[in-house]
Amino acid sequence: MADIEENIQLKFITTSDIHGAIFQYDFIEDEITSSSLAQIFTYITEQRQTPDQEIILLDNGDILQGQPIVFYSNLFYSKNNDFNHICSQVMNYMQYDTATIGNHDIEAGHEVYDKLREDFNFPWLAANAIDIETGEPYFEPYTIIHRKGLKIAVLGLITPAIPMWLPESKWQGIEFEDMIETAKKWVPYIKETEKPDLLVGLFHAGIDYTYNRQSPTTHRNENASILVAQQVPGFDIIFAGHDHQENNLLFEDIEGNEVLLLNPKSLANFVSIATVEMRFNRETNKYEKYDITGINLQMNFCDTNSEFKAKFEKQINTVKKYVSEPIGSFTRSISSRESLFADTGFVDLIHRIQLDYTQADISFAAPLSFDSVIRKGTIYVRDMFKLYKFDNLLYTIWLTGREIKDYLEFSYGLWFSTMKNINHTLLNFKQNHKGELVMAEKYYNFSSAAGIIYTVDLKALYGQKIEIQSMASGEAFDFTKRYKVALNSYRGNGGGGHLIEGSGISHVELHNRIITKSEKDVRSILMEWIKEKGEITPNALGQWRAIPVSWWHKGRQKSLKILFNMKKN
């Protein structure tokens, strides 16, 4: 017994929502970045060389979408058995101990994630993603990590709202169960079967369980990490993700035990670090938790080491060449910023292409980038990731005129406030937990329409804001008529609530409304359209406006100041 270490220090280092920020280079903006997995690797290497601590490296999902490096890798990995995915190459090289899969990883499709889980040198977790055929978890539910005789159990959970966002083809054969119910099933099993010294939750889900108009009792709540921490006793540490927030919180579970909850934001800006000191109790002949502390550490002080650069230089140069391919030209610059307030060329270019590609009557689209500019002149592949951020498919569905109007009422009700006077803000804001003013909804939920002429009354209450004058062709708009509507797969599956809550269409009925689904993602469709046209003038269509105009102008200035710290635009 003399050689027993009195103290063992465990250091859990967790990444989450990397979204392709693997290298210290932004393939979209063509510039060096201040955060990346490459820099985190530098930090990890230093920590592994520090004596008297055991490093456990975890990832919490959503790495397969975002930067062109992962889009390119997903594309060729799914088609070529000899192609090595950049994520398996990098994450195996970094020696991750385990990871939980995220919703945007599921979005890459079976042909990507089924292969990747075989190529990873670590378990990919999701206890609540259930194989419909077997009734067992499709991925590993949990894993055991051994360090100096200690057993560390890591239970993985994924946000269960995926069927509301993604086409069924992406998750076919999988059912996503409630996080709380799943944790209540697996925690006692792990405790009894494995008898771990520590239990860690690795949850690709956020902490705001009221987001998207949900409540603590909402079944399959999208962001149930806090609810699990409070309602399911047994966890020592929970790492959250998905919501791109930075949090370091302490909770008590229902038995009065303290649970540390950490969330490292996104894009490799931070890592979440939980340090656990285990002390050996000679009376019980066991190690026991003595102290658990947590921090979120920003990674911008690290640089990429030469070894990492050399290892992946070829892959980086290949994708640099890919995103530098010219596809056409714009006669004027466009910005997503103004799309938060008005009818603009940025969103209307998406509308134009969706309508042309599908021959639909009406198009719905949103500004998927918060503050991106595509400058006039030659347009490159990289610019398409500014114009269209996500890897959605393009749907056409049947909607009645009334459902279209209700969809827009819901969208603008989320987007624009009911202005009480000319000095009120145009956009809906709320206070976050830090007391800061933030948009009440995500900018990609701000969906407008093309193919119809309409106004948005800023003074009117929810449900009374939209007045549709006519179709863009000049024909009368009919509330009882069915129209063919083009929109992305996220929205077409019920994402954001526009069709389900707004238009009042059930999730089951929604699938019956689908007319067509594109084989290609929307970004690729946009790219091919621009290539075919050559030179584009991306002007606003001028099919909707907010009234009174004076109120819109003043409210816009006030909202701009809050969002971008600007006095005027």
> Counting beta carbons within 10 angstroms of the beta carbon of residue 16, is it exposed (0 to 12), middle (13 to 18) or buried (19 or more)?
buried
CATH code, domain carrying 498? 3.90.780.10
Encoded amino acid at 133, one letter:
E
Give residue 2's pLDDT.
47
CA distances from 470 to 170, 404, 498 (A): 37, 13, 21
> Would you say residue 404 lies in a domain?
yes
Strands (E), 303-431: 326-330, 334-335, 362-365, 373-374, 377-380, 393-400, 429-431
Give the orientation angle of helix 68-77 with respect to helix 110-119, to 10 degrees. 90
Residues 229 and 278 in one domain: yes
Q: Are 41 and 310 in contact (CB under 8 A)?
A: no
82, with CB counted inside 10 A (0-12, 13-18, 19+), is exposed
Q: Give the pLDDT of residue 440.
A: 74
Structural domain span for residue 191: 14-318
Q: Which of 151, 155, 94 is nearest to 121 (CA)?
A: 94
Tokens read off for 378:
């030659």
Quick check: 170 and 226 in contact, CB under 8 A?
no
Q: Which residue is associated with the tokens 């860690």? A: 200
Residue 471: inside a domain? yes
Q: Does 443 share its domain with 476?
A: yes
Mapped onto helix, strand or coil, the DSSP state of residue 456 is: strand
pTM check: above 0.85: yes
- The pLDDT score that the predictor gives to residue 310 is 95
The SS3 assignment for 77 reads helix
What does the pLDDT profile of the chain (569 residues) look like in tens digits? 446 788 999 999 999 999 999 999 999 999 999 999 999 999 999 999 999 999 999 999 999 999 999 999 999 998 888 899 999 999 999 999 999 999 999 999 999 999 999 999 999 999 999 999 999 999 999 999 999 999 999 999 999 999 999 999 999 999 999 999 999 999 999 999 999 999 999 999 999 999 888 999 999 999 999 999 999 999 999 999 999 999 999 999 999 999 999 999 999 999 999 999 999 998 888 899 999 999 999 999 999 989 999 999 999 999 999 999 999 999 999 999 999 999 999 999 999 999 999 999 999 999 998 899 999 999 999 999 999 999 999 999 999 999 999 999 999 999 999 999 999 999 998 877 677 777 777 888 899 999 999 999 999 999 999 999 999 999 999 999 999 999 999 999 999 999 999 999 999 999 999 999 999 999 999 999 999 999 999 999 999 999 999 999 999 999 988 888 754 33
Same domain? For 284 and 354 the reply is: no
Task: Give the pLDDT of residue 436.
Answer: 77
Q: End of a domain among 294, 318, 342?
A: 318
The CATH number for 117's domain is 3.60.21.10
455, with CB counted inside 10 A (0-12, 13-18, 19+), is middle
Q: What is the predicted pLDDT for the residue at 433?
A: 67
| Residue 506 and residue 366 share a domain | yes
Return the pLDDT at 115: 96
Instruction: Name residue, tokens 């390119």.
Output: 72
Tell me, yes or no, whether 342 and 448 share the same domain: yes
Domains held by the chain: number = 2
Structure tokens at 207: 């902490």
CB 147 within 8 A of CB 477: no
Which class for 93: exposed (0-12), middle (13-18), buried (19 or more C-beta within 10 A)?
middle
Q: How many CA atoms lie less than 13 Å away from 114 in the CB half-sphere?
A: 12
Residue 4 lies in a domain: no
Query: What's residue 152's pLDDT?
Result: 98
The answer on 197 and 130 residing in a single domain is yes
Q: b/e per residue, 287-308, with b = 16+ CB within 10 A?
A: beeeebebebeebeebebeeeb
Burial of 210 (0-12, 13-18, 19+ CB in 10 A): exposed
SS3 state at 332: coil
